Amino acid sequence: MPVITAVLGDLTTESVDVIVNPTATAVRGGGGVDGAIHRGGGAAILRDCVARFPNGLATGDAGWTTAGALPARWVVHTVGPDYRAGQRDRSLLMSCYRRALEIADQLDARTVAFPLIGTGALGWPRADAIAAAVDTIATAATRVDEVRLVAVEQAVHRQIRAALWLRCPPPVGADTVGSLFERVPVQFGLRGDPYLWRELRGRFADTPLPARWSTLRTLLADTIEQIIGEPLTSHDDISWHDNNAAVRVPEFDPGHGMSAGTVHVPWWLHTGIPILLDRYAALGEPSSDPR
């Protein structure tokens, strides 16, 4: 399985072997990412498209051209399904990623950068488009070493990263704050809590354990508040089972379920943070009683 990362930036500036272009069936350039790639790469890309795809490409298929003046070596063009026009077969969306990686293997490419295919003008629901991308890439039989999922909008980047860390949690170093988190929480309040658990694990994967438990408590609380956008102290007097204290975090919403994307703040106050502080105390730091 390739290493998959979420990148906030401009696909056309990625220095990789292959960038993937979501295009129309004619494969002659257009708007959005397609237009940006043609503008950045110059006329050489269009000339190659005309020569290699005289009849265009079918939905779900892919093919390669030069990258012209772009930092990448090649562009792999793929045709995503038009959800708004009724093309709602998910296998076609998954095929875009699978076929692009197959073409990358034919080119002996080792690094590939994808945009989020099917969203935007084509209308595929974003959460499901992200899930299709992550699941397909994570299970692909490919020789590609690294895949980047590139988003230009910060909100989309955060949603991709949350889904990616749920499916493919990053490794954590020894004696780091991230090492206090197992890959899957042993218990949680609502369906957004496992996403937050993995988000924290990923953020702290390389953060050394602090010298004192009070520093750790502050670090955890401050980071959670930053993510959910609310102070934890506003929930101090609320019972742990009161769902009115739930906070919705859009990037943790996988697109289904009544509590999807919802973080249960009392669970973190009364259970989640104390679990982590107890684990830290068990390491034997002096004066580490978290109570």
Q: What is the pLDDT tens value at each position of the chain, 291 positions in all?
A: 899 999 999 999 999 999 999 999 999 999 999 999 999 999 999 999 999 999 999 999 999 999 999 999 999 999 999 999 999 999 999 999 999 999 999 999 999 999 999 998 999 999 999 999 999 999 999 999 999 999 999 999 999 999 998 888 889 999 999 999 998 777 777 778 889 999 999 999 999 999 999 999 999 999 999 999 988 877 666 665 666 778 889 888 887 666 678 898 888 988 899 999 999 999 975 444 444
Q: Say what the pTM is.
A: 0.86
What is the Cα–Cα distance from 149 to 160, expressed in whole angstroms? 8
Q: How many CB atoms lie within 10 A of CB 50?
A: 12
Residue 237: burial class (beta carbons within 10 Å; 0-12, 13-18, 19+): exposed
**Domain boundaries for CATH 3.40.220.10 within the chain:** 3-167
Active site positions, annotated: 34
Q: Is residue 202 within 8 Å of residue 169, measured between CB atoms?
A: yes
Q: Which fold has domain 3-167?
A: Leucine Aminopeptidase, subunit E; domain 1 (3.40.220)
Using alpha carbons, list the distances in angstroms from residue 66 to 4, 121, 267.
24, 25, 52
